[in-house]
Structures are given as structure tokens and as C-alpha cells.
């Protein structure tokens, strides 16, 4: 019988220095290189696999209802979409924990949203907002996520469920 090939799970995990490089690269991608995220003012708060979190500060440019100062529904939808993508990026990085930053970042080049559902639960009122993302399924070609958007008072404003092409 031929010897078995070692699997990715058998490979050593990236070093803490390489993980810091990856986290910095993911943050730069999310906050700076994706122009629309920069327009929204999205910031990464946590990249821990069990805690994917981002935030944005309310500004006049994000208002959807002039009389009430509510966060625009499109901003809510876009925020939930990109938080799902960020959660998948972290999930993919964990799945390939033996790879370098360059290798992992290359895996994100073909990612695309293929389905997004948003449930608007309450008016988007607040001075700032926090969004979270969780990977529900991560396959070879597709991934799915659940996301949530909270007000600065911790009130759940909207939830999202999305599917992404990842390869």
C-alpha cells in the first residue's frame, strides 16, 4: 500500500507573527482597499474566529429618512453583506491555517455574494452600530453566513443570511 499524503490538517499552523500579518492584511482589505466599505466608514473590531465584529459611526451621509435620522436600509444591507464576507474570509483563513498571508489573501479574489436576505427588525437609530458575522457552512465552492446589526444601545436592528461563491 502506498504511503498516505499528509493533509492540510497535519501541516503546522502559521506562526503568531504570520497571523498578525494576516489580520493586518484582512483589516486593510476590509477598511481601505474595498472602497465602498471606506465610504460607509466600516471598521474591523474583531477577527477572532468566534467573534467576527465590525462597526460604523452614524453620519449625515448614511441617513435614509431625513425626518427621523434613521440609518439607510441600503447601508444596513451592505454592512450585513460585507460582514458575512469577512466572517468567511476568517473561516477560510482558519481552514488553511498552514498557509502564508499571501496564499490566504489570494483565496479571496473570486469571492462574490450570490444570495442575501435581510430582515429589518427595527428602525436604524443610534450614534454608532456594531455588526457581527458567523459562518454557518464553509464548503469547497460555497459558503453561507448569518449576520446581525446592533445599535449603540445593544438593540438588534437587522439580521442577514447570505451565500457566497468562494472558489
- Tell me which residue range forms the domain holding 68: 15-165
Q: Which H or E run includes 79?
A: helix 73-95
**9 inside domain:** no
| CA pair distance 48, 42, nearest whole angstrom | 17
Give domain status of residue 1, yes or no.
Answer: no
pLDDT reported for residue 65: 86
Does the residue 3 lie in any domain? no
pLDDT band at 11 (very low <50, low <70, confident <90, very high): confident
Contact call for residues 94 and 47 (beta carbons, < 8 A): no
For position 95, which CATH number holds?
3.10.129.10
Q: Rounded to the nearest 5 degrees, what angle is found at the Cα of 159, between the Cα atoms of 84 and 38? A: 50
Does the pTM exceed 0.85? yes
pLDDT digits (tens, 9 = 90+) for 96-119: 999 999 999 999 998 999 999 999
Instruction: Name the residue among 49, 40, 46, 21 with its Cα closest to residue 105.
Output: 21
Domain count, the chain: 1
Residue among 67, 45, 65 at smallest CA distance from 131: 45
Q: Sorting pLDDT into bands at 50, 70 and 90, what band is 167?
A: confident
Task: State the average pLDDT over residues 124-147.
Answer: 97
pLDDT value at position 3? 58
Q: What is the mean pLDDT of the chain?
A: 94
Amino acid at each position: 500500500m502506498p504511503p498516505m499524503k499528509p493533509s492540510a490538517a497535519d501541516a503546522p499552523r502559521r506562526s503568531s507573527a504570520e497571523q498578525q500579518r494576516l489580520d493586518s492584511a484582512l483589516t486593510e482589505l476590509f477598511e481601505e482597499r474595498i472602497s465602498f466599505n471606506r465610504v460607509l466608514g466600516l471598521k474591523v473590531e474583531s477577527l477572532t474566529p468566534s467573534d467576527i465584529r465590525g462597526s460604523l459611526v452614524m453620519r449625515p451621509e448614511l441617513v435614509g429618512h431625513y425626518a427621523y435620522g434613521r440609518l439607510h436600509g441600503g447601508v444596513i444591507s451592505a454592512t450585513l453583506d460585507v460582514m458575512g464576507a469577512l466572517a468567511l474570509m476568517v473561516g477560510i483563513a482558519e481552514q488553511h491555517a498552514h498557509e502564508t498571508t499571501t496564499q490566504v489573501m489570494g483565496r479571496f479574489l473570486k469571492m462574490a455574494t450570490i444570495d442575501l436576505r435581510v430582515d429589518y427588525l427595527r428602525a436604524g437609530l443610534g450614534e454608532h452600530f456594531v455588526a457581527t458575522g458567523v459562518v454557518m457552512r464553509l464548503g469547497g465552492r460555497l459558503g453561507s453566513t448569518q449576520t446581525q446589526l446592533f445599535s449603540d444601545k445593544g438593540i438588534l436592528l437587522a439580521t442577514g443570511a447570505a451565500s457566497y461563491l468562494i472558489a
